[in-house]
Amino acid sequence: MPLMVSVSGVRGIIGEDLTPPVIIKFVESFIHTLGNPAGKILIGRDTRKSGNFIENIVEGSIIALGHDVINIGIAATPTVLLLTRKLNCSGGIAITASHNPLQWNALKFCDEKGLFLVEKDVEKIRNRVFRTESPDDCWSGFKTLGTPYQEKEASLVHIEDVLKHIDHDHISEKKFKIAIDPAGGAGCVISRPFLEKLGCTVIGINEKSMPVFPRGPEPVPENLSKLCDLVISSKADIGFAQDPDGDRLAVVSESGVAIGEEYTLVLAGDAYLRKHRTNIACNLSTSMMIDDLAKRYSVDVFRTKIGEMNVTARLLENKISFGGEGNGGVIVPEINPCRDSITAMGLILELLAATKATVSGLVEGFPSYTMKKVKVPAGIITKDEFYKNLFESVENHFPGYTVDTLDGIKISNGSEWLQIRFSNTEPVVRIMSESSSADRAEELIKIGKTLVDN
C-alpha cells in the first residue's frame, strides 16, 4: 500500500511503507523546503509503540542535517504547534498517526508559525522525495552537526497560554467534577493539569501513557462505554475523551451518554460566539448543527475541503475567529490556530458555567440530526476516474439537489446530505450522510454504497 501523503501528514504502516529510509527522506525534504539556513526544529510525539524509534530517527536526521532540535517528548499535537511558534523554531514535526490503528504512524509538518503545511508545500516535499534520492551533499560534517535539546515544560507553556483566554474565575467557582479518558495517549500529560488549574475535581481512566491504546483510538461513542460508566458512578458534571494525539475532543453528558463528536464544535462555538461575534469556518463534513448555531448568532458559515489546515487557512484568510471540524476539532486562531482539545474543554466549561445548564440541557437546545459514516476499500481506481464516473450517477439519483465537488462529491437539499470522498488518512472511500430522520440517514448511506459499487 502506498504512503498517504496529504495536508494530514505522511502516514503509513510501520515496516511496510513507513520505514527508516522513507522517514529520513521525508525529514530531509522537509528541512530543505524551509530554506537554507533553517534554524531550530521542534519535535514531539504521541505514545504509540513505534513513536520512540521514529523520534530517534527524526532527531538524528535533523542533527545530521546541521540543525539544532528541540525535543519535547510525549506531547499533544497542538502543543507541538504552539511551542514551535513560541520557541521561534523554523518548523516542527509531530510524530503521530492520530486516530489511525496502532500499526500506523505519521509525520505531520508545520512551519515557523506553528501552522500545518498547505497542499502546495506538501507537494514540494513529496516531489523531492519521489523525484530523486536525497542528495549526498545535504548532510553535515562533524563541525556543523546540530545539537539536541529537551524542553520538559512544553505542556505547562501550552496550558498557561490557553488559560489567558478562558474565564478561569467563573469556571473555578463552579467546582466542576470532570471524568476524563485520554486513551493512554498524549492527552495524559496535559488534560488533568489543565482542568485542575481551572479548579476542577478530576477523575480519570486510561491516564497512563501506553504504547498500545487501551480502547479504540477515535473518541466515538462505541469506544467510550467505560467513560460513560465513570461519569455515572462518580456523578461527574461532564466527561471528556481525546484521541491519542490530543487534538480532538468528545463529550459525555452528566447522564453518561456519549453525545457524539459533532456536538464538541457546536458547544464550544456557542461559548465563543456569546462573547465574540464572528463568522464560522468548518469543513464540508461538519454537521448541519453548525448552521443552526450560526443562525442563532446571525453569522455565516464558510465550508472548506476536509483537512485541518484547509479550515485554518480559511480562518486566517477571512479573519474568522472560530471554526473547526465536526470530528471534535475546535480551532480558535487567537489561542492556537489548530485543533486543540484543551481549548475545547475550556470553552465548553465556560458555557456550562455561564448558562448553569447541564450538558443534556444544552444538547436539547439544538435540532436533532442523525449522522452516519461508513468506509469502503478504495481499490486501485484513481480519484479523478472515480469522481468522473460517480458524478453522473449522483446527478441522476438526486435531481434538484445541490452538487458540491469541492472535496469528493456532496449532494444536499438544505435538510439532508450525502458525501462520498477519498480519505486523506486511510486507503478508503468515506461515505457520510446526515438527516433529521435516522431511517433516511441510513437510506442515504445505502444509496451511497450502491453508487460506489457501480
Is the per-residue pLDDT at 222 higher than 90? yes
> What is 157-364's CATH superfamily?
Alpha-D-Glucose-1,6-Bisphosphate, subunit A, domain 3 (3.40.120.10)
The residue extents of the domains of the chain are: 4-152, 157-364, 370-453
Question: Is the pLDDT assigned to residue 130 strictly greater than 60?
Answer: yes
Question: In this structure, are strands 41-45 and 91-95 parallel, antiparallel, or unpaired?
Answer: parallel
Higher pLDDT, 297 or 381: 297
Give the model's confidence band at 392: pLDDT under 50 very low, under 70 low, under 90 confident, else very high.
confident
Q: What's the mean pLDDT in 387-399?
A: 85
Chain mean position to CA 252: 19
Query: How far apart are the C-alpha atoms of 318 and 300, rounded to whole Å?
Result: 12
pLDDT digits 0-9 by tens, 132-147: 655 666 888 888 899 9
**Across 2-6, 76-80, 94-98, 327-331, least confident range:** 2-6
What is the spatial order of strands in the sheet that 201-204 belongs to? 201-204, 177-181, 238-242, 249-252
Q: What are phi and psi of 112, to 5 degrees?
A: -65, -15
- Tell me if domain 157-364 and domain 370-453 are identical in fold: no
The tens digit of pLDDT for each residue in 147-187 reads 999 999 999 999 999 999 999 999 999 999 999 999 999 99
Please tell me whether residue 268 adopts helix, strand or coil conformation: helix
- All cell numbers assigned to 49: 509503540
Task: Answer whether 46's CB lies under 8 Å from 95's CB.
Answer: yes
C-alpha span between 195 and 358 (Å, rounded): 18
**Cβ atoms of 108 and 244 closer than 8 Å:** no
Whether residue 234 contacts residue 264, with contact meaning beta carbons closer than 8 Å, is answered with: no
Does residue 112 carry a pLDDT above 80? yes
Residue 394 above 60 pLDDT?
yes
b/e for 305-342, b at 16 or more Cβ within 10 A? bbbbbbbbbbbeeeebbbbbbbbbbbbbbebbbbbbbb
**Would you state the torsion angle of the CA atoms of residues 286, 288, 293, 296, taken in this order, to the nearest 10 degrees?**
160
Per-residue pLDDT at 131: 79
β-pairing verdict for 402-404 and 4-6: unpaired
Distances in whole angstroms, Cα of residue 406 to Cα of each of 90, 283, 409, 414: 32, 10, 7, 17
Angle at 436 between CA 431 and CA 441, to 5 degrees: 30
- pLDDT of residue 196 exceeding 60, the answer is yes
With CA atoms as reference, report the closest residue to 322 among 247, 271, 251: 271
Helix spans in 109-210 (H): 119-131, 154-163, 168-174, 191-197
Residues 6+ apart with CB under 8 A from 248: 98, 99, 219, 242, 261, 264, 327, 328, 329, 339, 341
Q: Which of 119, 103, 26, 108 is nearest to 75 (CA)?
A: 108
> pTM of the prediction?
0.94
Torsion of CA 196, 200, 206, 210, to 10 degrees: -10
**Look-up of cell digits 449532494:** 411
pLDDT at residue 201 above 90? yes
Amino acid making up residue 80? V
Read off the pLDDT of residues 421-451 as tens digits, 9 standing for 90 and up: 988 888 889 999 999 999 999 999 999 999 9
**Helices marked H in 209-319:** 225-234, 262-275, 289-296, 308-317
The superfamily in CATH containing domain 370-453 is Alpha-D-phosphohexomutase, C-terminal domain (3.30.310.50)
Q: Which CATH architecture has domain 4-152?
A: 3-Layer(aba) Sandwich (3.40)
Q: Rounded to an integer, what distance in angstroms lies between the CA atom of residue 453 and that of residue 450?
A: 5
- The residue-averaged pLDDT of 101-111 equals 95
Average pLDDT over the chain reads 94
